[in-house]
Amino acid sequence: MMNQKHNMIPIFFSSDDNYLPFLAVSIRSLIENASPDYSYCIHILNNGLDEARLSHILAMQTENVEIRPVDVTSVIAPIAERLNLRDYYTVSIYFRLFIASMFPQYHKAIYLDADIAVNGDISELYNISLGKKILGVVSDDIIASHRDFRRYAEEGVGVPYRRYFNSGVLLMNLDAFRLADIERRFVYLLQKYHFETVCPDQDYLNVLCRDRVLYLDKGWNKMSIDRNYDGVPKIVHYNMFYKPWQYTNIVYQEYFWKYAQMTPFYGELKQMQKNFGFKGRMGHRRANRTLHRNALRISDLPNNFKCVMNASPIEAGDLHFDGAVYEA
């Protein structure tokens, strides 16, 4: 399938059946803006997908874009019962933490959430030098947008809110990730403390990779909460409750629908928006109120991330190592 003369860029998504229509839009947008000078291997991490619906996505493959579904059920099974899931979260949010160990052949990779639209050439993101940093990230505008979430980042997680990053777009130095032993430390903290969280995988990554991340231009993960960005964002992230397949007034929704029309799921997506209605909006309002309450409650817990890590810094591990690591 893939033209081997090109340099290959590994890209990872996580998805379940419910997210396949949105994943299709994300992949279509990536393909439409991909450079012909590279080949791309898109891995869809999953724990079982409907084959008929998945076939529509596999049909998007081109001469230089290969799409591979990867079942990670056996990898996640040992810790599945301990994972912190609630509301709309599914086990798929944790898959990104296992990329480094599952794919030892890769030095560097890109992870993307399935609720995005790619408006730029993804190879430009891949070619950003990380040096010995573990991740390339963008700070989280939703966390920064409200005092309750700002307090949660600083008092619940222990990260200055302006430096608290979103895990939906990650440029990953996989060698550094392995050398810092991030996966093992995540499993250790999960099993020992089972922290209450607002943003499960994201909180763990913020704690474990703190001070070892490169902050990227916001255009690489522009959330759809405002148009406070000069120019066209390279990646729009329809995060949290800002979904164009639910509401009709979402910032940057034009990019989502542009690429949605290029997929076989367009009619289904428009029907989702039509069906969301009053009941869906009220459900989001209740969920949002609960999220704020949890953020404040967790901020005051004596056994939250910040308290535990401050009391026992060794739990976070020494990430300031001098070992040999691939300069990504």
Sequence spans of domains, the chain: 7-312
Residue 234's alpha-carbon distances to 66, 118, 146, 217, 228, in angstroms, are 21, 6, 25, 10, 14
Question: What is the average pLDDT value for the chain, to the nearest integer?
Answer: 91
- Name the band, by pLDDT with cuts 50, 70 and 90, for residue 92: confident
The pair of three-digit structure tokens given for residue 275, joined into one six-digit string = 């069906």
| pLDDT recorded at residue 191 | 85
Asked if residues 136 and 216 have their Cβ atoms less than 8 Å apart, the reply is yes
3-state secondary structure the chain: CCCCCCEEEEEEEECCHHHHHHHHHHHHHHHHCCCCCEEEEEEEEECCCCHHHHHHHHCCCECCEEEEEEECHHHHHHHHHHCCCCCCCCHHHHHHHHHHHHCCCCCEEEEECCCEEECCCHHHHHCCCCCCCCEEEEECHHHHCCHHHHHHHHHHHCCCCCCCEEEEEEEEEHHHHHHCCHHHHHHHHHHHHCCCCCCHHHHHHHHHCCCCEEECCHHHCEECCCCCCCCCCCEEECCCCCCCCCCCCCCCHHHHHHHHCCCCCHHHHHHHHHHHHHHHHHHHHHHHHHHHHHHHHHHCCCCCHHHHHHHCHHHHCCCCCCCCCCCC
pLDDT in tens, 6-23: 499 999 999 999 999 999
Mean pLDDT confidence for 54-80:
91
Mean pLDDT confidence for 233-253:
97
Q: Classify domain 7-312 at the CATH topology level.
A: Spore Coat Polysaccharide Biosynthesis Protein SpsA; Chain A (3.90.550)
| pLDDT recorded at residue 228 | 95
Higher-confidence position of 5 and 289: 289
| pLDDT recorded at residue 315 | 65
Above 50 in pLDDT, residue 319? no
Asked if residues 15 and 92 have their Cβ atoms less than 8 Å apart, the reply is yes
